[in-house]
A and B are shown apart, each in its own frame.
Chain A
Amino acid sequence: MDLKELYQEIILDHGKNPRNLGKFENFNKDAEGYNPLCGDKVHVYLKLNEDKEIEDISFEGHGCAISMASASIMTELMKDKKNPEVKEILNDFLDMIKQSPELKSQLIKEDEKTKLMSLSGVKRYPMRVKCATIAWHALASAMDYKKDEDNSEKFI
């Protein structure tokens, strides 16, 4: 059934008990994702070191189970990751949510893939894709990634 695919246990769990929720003190980069259609907001906070490694990451916000779970899973996954790995994973996730049947990046471990793939149910619900990607777009802005001119779905 479609709904079970959309609201998998992993999503309900992360939606109800989001990890890395709340602003932390010594962040040095942050950005807000906003969906004007529904008013959902996700603010991402980063502590980036000189090597552009994410030493700490958290988020604040309000929104549906999908947007909260996606932000929660993303923060878990991105902690201790470094540029350009962050960019590769981010683009891989956005590609999977929008079109690709699977995640391709070798940087994502199998158990992490399972978590991320739990969000793939939104593909059947075009109006909900933005819910699953809002935190990831906020992370891209916090990392100062720019949209690819030739492919606006991709960050460079």
Chain B
Amino acid sequence: MSLKDIKKEFPIFSNKIQNNDLVYLDSANSSQKPQVVVDRIYDFYTKEFSNVGRSIHYLAVAATNLYENTRTLVQKYINAKDKNEIVFTKGATEAINLVANTFGQKYLKEGDEILLTELEHHSNYVPWHYLRKSKGVKIKFAEMDENGDVTLETIEKNITDKTKIIAITHLSNVTGAILPVKEITKLAHSKNIPVLIDGCQGAPHLKLDMQDLDCDFYAISCHKMYGPTGLGILYAKKKWLEELPPYQGGGGMIREVKKEGITFGELPNKYEAGTMATAQVIAFGESIKFINKIGIENIEKHERELTVYGEEVLRKNNSVKLIGNPKDKGSVLSFTLDGVHPHDIATILDEDGVAIRAGHHCCQILHEKLGLSATARASLGVYNTKEDLDQLNESLNKCKKIFS
């Protein structure tokens, strides 16, 4: 599939949004959906619907196969060793909560340390915060430097003999910094510390190889990678999924239930209690196929070119200040505009059909460090073009004019 006409694959771009062509620059928040994904949801509900993993009638068996097919597609896509290392969750947030909760319950005690970074999204801080109260653990934040990066050296400096787990972002949703996650994992493993990677921004933009990366846990948000909402993925090494206790209890995750006690099911059922987001899982299979058709390497190349172009355009605009200048940057352009609050920027851009995000982007620790209450953020997806970024710049000039 060629990148040239890729917008045509996404039905949202064929509609006018408030009489404008949509310039969608909010993919770090959530990506748009290709027609194949939308159709798959419709087809499943109209022709194939049944619950999975329970009944033995024709539709139930077929639906179960479709559901498990996506698990295999994901396994191959991220090169996990075993398909049972893929756990479906209701989002990346739940994936991280699952690990914080079960790992915390089994392994953490008072005085233990959890190492995060100042770049983390609230979803990779708040779940760990609960362990402060319940377990008395300490949370440390590896510092962000002036470029919006967190280096391997800073991580190393913050590791102590009390560090029990390291949880870091793959790609910052504000500064765009791509962290040296492979090197960090290697370092952590040399000290017997497991690593969780928040891959919400990594998975949609970068080629993943779990066996090469060797991390213990990797959280994915499906709606950010051209998939449906209400679905996330936890990749975890099999040994962890076997060792850790179940997260939620309910139907589907048990082996035998008696009045005196319960035994739990095998992987991956152990972590998938209750009726799962079946249609979303099946439709997400189409998202993976869609990405594979273009090739994640081609998506990455396209987005990196656009990021560089966007930076060039915005740097030429004297009133714009880019936030973050990391060594390795992906798909995110955060900025401020002299004399105009990010919310006012977002409202004025919206009038031209340019959709960006303004605010703290669920990263208040990072914004406090920057000394800013809010920033504006343009974030990229496969469907964006240089023309989109030119329109962004033009609309920013309109903001300046209104506020001059």
User: Are B343's CB and A3's CB within 8 A?
Assistant: no
Known interface pairs A38-B358, A39-B360. Does A128 touch B351 (Cβ–Cβ under 8 Å)? Answer: no
Q: Is the CB of A37 within 8 A of B359?
A: yes
Which residues from chain B contact A37 at a C-beta distance below 8 Å?
Answer: 359
Minimal beta-carbon separation of A24 from chain B (angstroms): 23
With A7-B402, A39-B364: A65-B344 Cβ-Cβ less than 8 Å: yes
CB<8 Å pairs between A and B, sample of 27: A3-B347, A3-B348, A3-B402, A7-B344, A7-B402, A7-B403, A12-B402, A12-B403, A16-B339, A37-B359, A38-B358, A38-B360, A39-B359, A39-B360, A39-B364, A39-B373, A39-B374, A40-B343, A40-B373, A40-B374, A63-B373, A64-B341, A64-B343, A66-B343, A66-B344, A128-B343, A128-B347
A50 at the interface (CB under 8 A from B): no
Contacts of B341 in A (CB 8 A): 63-65
Contact of B40 with A by CB under 8 A? no
Please report which residues of chain B, range 160-196, place their CB below 8 angstroms from some CB of chain A when the two chains form the complex. none
Give the docked Cα–Cα distance between A48 and B342 (Å).
35
Among A2, A39, A62, A64, which residue has its beta carbon within 8 angstroms of that of B344? A64
Q: Which residues of B contact A39 (CB under 8 A)?
A: 359-360, 364, 367, 373-374
Against B, the Cβ 8 Å flags (1 = close, 0 = not) of A30-70 are 00000001111100000000000000000000111110000
Asked if B347 contacts A6 (CB within 8 A), the reply is yes
Nearest B residue to A63 via CB reads: B341
B residues touching A (Cβ–Cβ < 8 Å)? Answer: 339-344, 347-348, 351, 358-360, 364, 367, 373-374, 402-403
Given contacts A12-B403, A38-B374, A65-B340, 7 further A-B contacts (CB under 8 A): A7-B402, A38-B373, A40-B343, A40-B374, A41-B373, A65-B341, A128-B347
Of B339, B347, B364, B374, chain A has the most CB atoms within 10 Å of the CB of: B347
B344 touches A38 (CB 8 A): no
> A62 to B341, alpha carbons, bound, how many Å?
9
For B342, list chain A residues within 8 Å (CB): 64
| Bound CA span A63–B347, Å | 14
What are the residues of chain A within 8 A of B403 when measuring CB–CB? Answer: 7, 12, 16, 65
Known: A12-B403, A41-B373. A3 touches B344 (CB 8 A): no
Chain A residues positioned under 8 Å from B364 (CB to CB) = 39
A131 at the B interface (CB under 8 A): yes
Q: Are B351 and A2 in contact (CB under 8 A)?
A: yes
In the complex, residue of chain A having the shortest beta-carbon distance to the beta carbon of B359? A38
Instruction: Tell me which residues from 50 to 98 in chain A have a Cβ below 8 Å from any Cβ of chain B.
Output: 62-66
